[in-house]
Structure 1
Amino acid sequence: MLHLRLIVPADRTTAVVRLVENTVGTAHLAVLPGAARDPEGDLVLCDVARESCDELIADLRTLGIDESGSIAVEDIHLSLSRRADRAEAEAPGEGADAVLWEHLEDATHEESTLSATYLAFMSVATMIAACGVVLDNAILIVGAMAVGPEFGPLAGLFTALVQRAPKLAARSLLALLIGFATAMSVTVGFSQLMTGLDLFSAAALEAPRPNTNFIYQPDAFSFVVAILAGVAGTLSLTSAKSGALVGVAISVTTIPAAANAAVAFSYSEYRQAWGSTEQLLLNLLGITVAGTLTLLAQKLFWARQKTKAATRGAAGPGER
Structure 2
Amino acid sequence: MLHLRLIVPHGQTDIALDVLRAQPGVTHIVLLRDAAIAPPGDVVDAAVAREAVDEVVAALCALDLDHVGGITLETIDTVLSDAADRAELAAPGDGADAMVWEELLAKTGEESKPSVTFQSFLTLACVLASVGVVTNSAVTIVGAMIVGPEFGPLAAIAVGLVRRRTDLLRRAGVALGVGFPLAMLVTAGVTVLAGLAGLFDRNTVLAAHQVEFVYQVGPYSLIVALLAGAAGMLAMTSAKSAALVGVFVSVTTVPAAGYAVVAAVVGEWDRCVGSLVQLVVNMLGIVLAAAVVLLISRRRAGHDRPLRA
State the TM-score, normalizing by the size of structure 1.
Answer: 0.93
Residue 133 of structure 1 pairs with residue 125 of structure 2: no
How do residues 117-266 of structure 1 correspond to structure 2 at under 5 angstroms? 117-207=117-207, 209-266=208-265
How do residues 297-312 of structure 1 correspond to structure 2 at under 5 angstroms? 297-303=296-302
Contact 1:191 1:200 in 2 (8 A): no
Contact 1:97 1:302 in 2 (8 A): no
Secondary structure of 2:198's counterpart equals: coil
C-alpha distance in 2, partners of 1:241/1:181?
32
- Tell me the equivalent position of 1:107: 107
How do residues 75-94 of structure 1 correspond to structure 2 at under 5 angstroms? 75-94=75-94
> Which amino acid letter does the alignment assign opposite residue 138 of structure 1?
A
Q: Deviations over 1:184-211 (max 9, x none)?
A: 111111110100111121111122x221
Q: Which runs of 4+ in 1 moved over 2 A?
A: none
**1:173 shift after superposition:** 1.3
C-alpha distance in 2, partners of 1:155/1:195?
36
Residue 276 of structure 1 pairs with residue 275 of structure 2: yes
C-alpha distance in 1, partners of 2:68/2:153?
30
C-alpha distance in 2, partners of 1:16/1:257?
51
- Tell me the equivalent position of 1:307: none
C-alpha distance in 2, partners of 1:76/1:184?
40
Q: Deviations over 1:29-76 (max 9, x none)?
A: 111111111111111111110000011111111111111111111111
Flag structure 2 segments of 5+ consecutive residues without an equivalent.
304-309
> Which amino acid letter does the alignment assign opposite residue 236 of structure 1?
A
C-alpha distance in 1, partners of 2:260/2:175?
19
Secondary structure of 1:250's counterpart equals: helix
> Which amino acid letter does the alignment assign opposite residue 156 of structure 2?
G
C-alpha distance in 1, partners of 2:44/2:17?
8
C-alpha distance in 1, partners of 2:80/2:216?
54
RMSD: 1.0
**1:153 shift after superposition:** 0.3
- Tell me the equivalent position of 1:295: 294
C-alpha distance in 1, partners of 2:161/2:281?
19
- Tell me the equivalent position of 1:308: none
